Amino acid sequence: MKKSIVVANWKMNMGISDAHVLATEVRNGLSGIGSVEVVLCPPSIWLSEVKQIIGNKKISLGAQNMFYEPEGAYTGEISPTMIKEVADYVIIGHSERREYFGETDHDVNEKTISALRAGLIPIICVGERKEKNNIVEPVKELREALEGIPKKHFKDIIIAYEPVWAIGTGENAEAEYVAKVCNKLREFVDAETAIIYGGSVKSSNVLEYAKRPEIDGLLVGGASLRASEFIKLCKDWSDARSLK
Protein backbone atom coordinates (compact mmCIF):
# COMPACT_ATOMS: atom_id res chain seq x y z
CA MET A 1 0.00 0.00 0.00
CA LYS A 2 1.32 3.45 -0.94
CA LYS A 3 2.41 5.80 1.81
CA SER A 4 0.69 9.10 2.44
CA ILE A 5 3.64 11.15 3.58
CA VAL A 6 4.72 14.70 4.40
CA VAL A 7 8.48 15.33 4.52
CA ALA A 8 10.04 18.40 6.17
CA ASN A 9 13.35 19.48 4.65
CA TRP A 10 14.95 21.94 7.08
CA LYS A 11 17.89 22.41 4.71
CA MET A 12 20.88 24.26 6.24
CA ASN A 13 18.87 25.95 8.96
CA MET A 14 18.49 25.71 12.73
CA GLY A 15 21.06 25.94 15.50
CA ILE A 16 20.79 23.33 18.21
CA SER A 17 18.45 25.32 20.45
CA ASP A 18 16.14 26.20 17.56
CA ALA A 19 16.16 22.58 16.37
CA HIS A 20 15.13 21.46 19.87
CA VAL A 21 12.26 23.94 19.99
CA LEU A 22 10.98 23.18 16.48
CA ALA A 23 11.18 19.38 16.88
CA THR A 24 9.46 19.55 20.26
CA GLU A 25 6.63 21.75 18.99
CA VAL A 26 6.08 19.56 15.94
CA ARG A 27 6.13 16.40 18.05
CA ASN A 28 3.55 17.79 20.46
CA GLY A 29 1.39 19.34 17.77
CA LEU A 30 1.18 16.16 15.70
CA SER A 31 0.89 13.64 18.53
CA GLY A 32 -2.56 12.48 17.46
CA ILE A 33 -2.21 12.73 13.69
CA GLY A 34 -3.36 9.87 11.51
CA SER A 35 -3.62 9.05 7.80
CA VAL A 36 -0.15 10.43 7.10
CA GLU A 37 3.46 9.69 7.97
CA VAL A 38 5.48 12.76 8.90
CA VAL A 39 9.25 12.76 8.32
CA LEU A 40 11.61 15.41 9.68
CA CYS A 41 14.89 15.93 7.82
CA PRO A 42 17.11 18.22 9.93
CA PRO A 43 20.76 19.01 9.17
CA SER A 44 22.72 15.80 9.66
CA ILE A 45 24.58 17.19 12.67
CA TRP A 46 21.25 17.30 14.55
CA LEU A 47 19.87 13.88 13.53
CA SER A 48 20.62 12.20 16.85
CA GLU A 49 19.36 15.21 18.80
CA VAL A 50 16.06 15.32 16.93
CA LYS A 51 15.65 11.55 17.22
CA GLN A 52 15.80 11.82 21.00
CA ILE A 53 13.15 14.52 20.94
CA ILE A 54 10.59 12.89 18.65
CA GLY A 55 11.18 9.51 20.29
CA ASN A 56 8.01 7.86 19.00
CA LYS A 57 6.59 6.17 15.93
CA LYS A 58 4.27 9.04 15.01
CA ILE A 59 7.12 11.02 13.43
CA SER A 60 9.98 9.55 11.42
CA LEU A 61 13.45 10.87 10.72
CA GLY A 62 15.39 11.38 7.51
CA ALA A 63 18.75 12.74 6.37
CA GLN A 64 19.14 15.39 3.68
CA ASN A 65 21.99 13.69 1.85
CA MET A 66 24.51 10.84 2.02
CA PHE A 67 27.58 9.42 0.30
CA TYR A 68 27.27 6.11 -1.52
CA GLU A 69 30.20 4.30 0.13
CA PRO A 70 29.52 2.48 3.45
CA GLU A 71 32.82 3.65 4.99
CA GLY A 72 36.29 4.90 4.11
CA ALA A 73 38.56 7.93 3.76
CA TYR A 74 35.90 10.40 2.65
CA THR A 75 36.37 13.36 4.96
CA GLY A 76 33.19 15.27 5.70
CA GLU A 77 30.81 12.68 4.28
CA ILE A 78 28.25 10.48 6.04
CA SER A 79 27.47 6.94 4.93
CA PRO A 80 24.12 5.18 4.53
CA THR A 81 25.04 2.74 7.30
CA MET A 82 25.66 5.66 9.66
CA ILE A 83 22.31 7.21 8.77
CA LYS A 84 20.51 3.90 9.23
CA GLU A 85 21.51 3.87 12.90
CA VAL A 86 19.33 6.93 13.55
CA ALA A 87 16.99 7.43 10.58
CA ASP A 88 14.85 5.56 8.04
CA TYR A 89 14.78 8.00 5.13
CA VAL A 90 17.27 9.97 3.07
CA ILE A 91 16.71 12.71 0.48
CA ILE A 92 18.70 12.05 -2.68
CA GLY A 93 19.32 14.27 -5.70
CA HIS A 94 17.74 17.48 -4.45
CA SER A 95 18.07 20.22 -7.06
CA GLU A 96 20.25 22.24 -4.69
CA ARG A 97 22.69 19.33 -4.49
CA ARG A 98 22.70 19.14 -8.28
CA GLU A 99 23.16 22.90 -8.73
CA TYR A 100 25.64 23.78 -5.99
CA PHE A 101 27.60 20.55 -5.65
CA GLY A 102 27.52 19.22 -9.19
CA GLU A 103 25.64 16.00 -8.47
CA THR A 104 24.77 14.09 -11.62
CA ASP A 105 22.10 11.55 -12.49
CA HIS A 106 24.80 8.90 -12.13
CA ASP A 107 25.56 10.09 -8.59
CA VAL A 108 21.86 9.91 -7.74
CA ASN A 109 21.70 6.37 -9.08
CA GLU A 110 24.69 5.24 -7.00
CA LYS A 111 23.28 6.84 -3.87
CA THR A 112 19.86 5.27 -4.43
CA ILE A 113 21.34 1.80 -4.80
CA SER A 114 23.50 2.31 -1.72
CA ALA A 115 20.55 3.58 0.34
CA LEU A 116 18.44 0.56 -0.56
CA ARG A 117 21.29 -1.81 0.32
CA ALA A 118 21.51 -0.17 3.75
CA GLY A 119 17.78 -0.52 4.34
CA LEU A 120 17.02 3.17 3.95
CA ILE A 121 14.06 4.57 2.04
CA PRO A 122 15.41 6.98 -0.60
CA ILE A 123 13.40 10.09 -1.44
CA ILE A 124 14.56 10.73 -5.00
CA CYS A 125 14.10 14.32 -6.20
CA VAL A 126 13.40 15.07 -9.85
CA GLY A 127 12.15 18.17 -11.62
CA GLU A 128 12.47 20.45 -14.60
CA ARG A 129 14.42 23.70 -14.45
CA LYS A 130 12.36 25.80 -16.83
CA GLU A 131 8.77 26.57 -16.03
CA LYS A 132 6.11 24.05 -16.95
CA ASN A 133 5.43 21.75 -19.86
CA ASN A 134 8.84 20.10 -19.76
CA ILE A 135 8.05 16.64 -18.43
CA VAL A 136 10.96 15.16 -20.37
CA GLU A 137 13.52 16.37 -17.81
CA PRO A 138 12.06 14.80 -14.63
CA VAL A 139 11.36 11.59 -16.55
CA LYS A 140 14.98 11.42 -17.68
CA GLU A 141 16.23 12.05 -14.14
CA LEU A 142 13.96 9.33 -12.77
CA ARG A 143 14.98 6.76 -15.37
CA GLU A 144 18.66 7.44 -14.66
CA ALA A 145 18.09 7.22 -10.91
CA LEU A 146 16.44 3.80 -11.26
CA GLU A 147 19.04 2.33 -13.62
CA GLY A 148 19.92 -1.23 -12.58
CA ILE A 149 17.48 -1.32 -9.66
CA PRO A 150 15.17 -4.38 -9.71
CA LYS A 151 11.46 -3.53 -9.86
CA LYS A 152 10.84 -5.41 -6.61
CA HIS A 153 12.51 -2.49 -4.81
CA PHE A 154 10.33 0.21 -6.36
CA LYS A 155 7.82 -0.09 -3.50
CA ASP A 156 10.64 0.95 -1.14
CA ILE A 157 11.34 4.21 -2.99
CA ILE A 158 9.67 7.61 -2.78
CA ILE A 159 9.75 9.98 -5.75
CA ALA A 160 9.65 13.70 -4.98
CA TYR A 161 8.62 15.79 -7.97
CA GLU A 162 10.06 19.25 -7.34
CA PRO A 163 10.06 21.63 -10.31
CA VAL A 164 13.15 23.76 -9.78
CA TRP A 165 11.35 26.93 -10.82
CA ALA A 166 8.93 26.50 -7.88
CA ILE A 167 11.44 25.82 -5.10
CA GLY A 168 11.69 28.77 -2.72
CA THR A 169 10.09 31.14 -5.20
CA GLY A 170 6.59 31.29 -3.74
CA GLU A 171 5.27 30.14 -7.11
CA ASN A 172 3.84 26.67 -6.57
CA ALA A 173 2.93 24.45 -9.48
CA GLU A 174 -0.77 24.01 -10.14
CA ALA A 175 -2.19 20.76 -8.76
CA GLU A 176 -3.55 19.71 -12.15
CA TYR A 177 -0.13 20.06 -13.72
CA VAL A 178 1.54 18.18 -10.83
CA ALA A 179 -0.98 15.36 -11.22
CA LYS A 180 -0.13 15.16 -14.93
CA VAL A 181 3.58 14.83 -14.16
CA CYS A 182 2.92 12.26 -11.41
CA ASN A 183 0.95 10.14 -13.87
CA LYS A 184 3.86 10.22 -16.29
CA LEU A 185 6.40 9.32 -13.60
CA ARG A 186 4.11 6.50 -12.46
CA GLU A 187 4.76 4.75 -15.78
CA PHE A 188 8.33 4.03 -14.65
CA VAL A 189 7.72 2.82 -11.09
CA ASP A 190 5.51 0.49 -9.11
CA ALA A 191 1.86 1.08 -8.25
CA GLU A 192 2.97 1.15 -4.60
CA THR A 193 5.68 3.76 -5.12
CA ALA A 194 4.74 7.01 -3.38
CA ILE A 195 5.07 10.09 -5.59
CA ILE A 196 5.02 13.38 -3.70
CA TYR A 197 5.19 17.06 -4.64
CA GLY A 198 7.48 19.83 -3.40
CA GLY A 199 7.87 23.47 -4.39
CA SER A 200 6.53 26.45 -2.40
CA VAL A 201 4.06 24.25 -0.51
CA LYS A 202 2.30 25.91 2.42
CA SER A 203 -0.86 25.52 4.46
CA SER A 204 -2.77 27.90 2.18
CA ASN A 205 -2.35 25.65 -0.88
CA VAL A 206 -2.02 22.16 0.65
CA LEU A 207 -5.66 21.23 -0.02
CA GLU A 208 -5.16 21.76 -3.75
CA TYR A 209 -2.76 18.82 -3.75
CA ALA A 210 -4.59 16.72 -1.18
CA LYS A 211 -7.61 16.57 -3.50
CA ARG A 212 -5.58 14.90 -6.24
CA PRO A 213 -5.29 11.11 -5.82
CA GLU A 214 -2.22 11.09 -8.08
CA ILE A 215 -0.23 12.99 -5.40
CA ASP A 216 0.74 10.84 -2.41
CA GLY A 217 2.30 13.50 -0.21
CA LEU A 218 4.47 16.59 0.05
CA LEU A 219 8.10 17.62 0.44
CA VAL A 220 8.04 20.88 2.39
CA GLY A 221 10.91 23.37 2.61
CA GLY A 222 10.47 26.86 4.08
CA ALA A 223 7.06 26.16 5.57
CA SER A 224 8.55 23.34 7.65
CA LEU A 225 10.69 25.81 9.62
CA ARG A 226 7.64 27.35 11.31
CA ALA A 227 6.03 24.93 13.74
CA SER A 228 2.49 26.29 13.60
CA GLU A 229 2.52 26.48 9.80
CA PHE A 230 3.92 22.96 9.39
CA ILE A 231 1.54 21.46 11.95
CA LYS A 232 -1.45 23.02 10.21
CA LEU A 233 -0.21 21.83 6.83
CA CYS A 234 0.16 18.24 8.08
CA LYS A 235 -3.22 18.24 9.80
CA ASP A 236 -4.98 19.66 6.74
CA TRP A 237 -3.38 17.02 4.56
CA SER A 238 -4.27 14.25 7.00
CA ASP A 239 -7.87 15.42 7.39
CA ALA A 240 -8.36 15.67 3.65
CA ARG A 241 -6.94 12.21 3.03
CA SER A 242 -8.91 10.58 5.86
CA LEU A 243 -12.11 11.65 4.12
CA LYS A 244 -11.24 9.79 0.92
Is 162 assigned a catalytic role? Answer: yes
What angle in degrees, to the nearest 10, is found between the helix axes of 136-145 and 105-117?
Answer: 40
By CB atoms closer than 10 A (0-12, 13-18, 19+), residue 66 is buried
Instruction: Report the C-alpha gap between 78 and 74 in whole angstroms.
Output: 8
Question: Which of the following is catalytic: 94, 96, 110, 141?
Answer: 94
> Is there a contact between 196 and 170 (Cβ–Cβ < 8 Å)?
no
Is 153 assigned a catalytic role? Answer: no
Contacts 24+ apart (CB under 8 A), 14-23: 14/42, 14/43, 14/46, 14/225, 16/46, 16/49, 19/43, 19/46, 19/49, 19/50, 20/49, 20/53, 21/227, 22/225, 22/227, 23/49, 23/50, 23/53, 23/54
Question: Which of the following is catalytic: 96, 103, 110, 162?
Answer: 162
The residues assigned a catalytic role are 94, 162
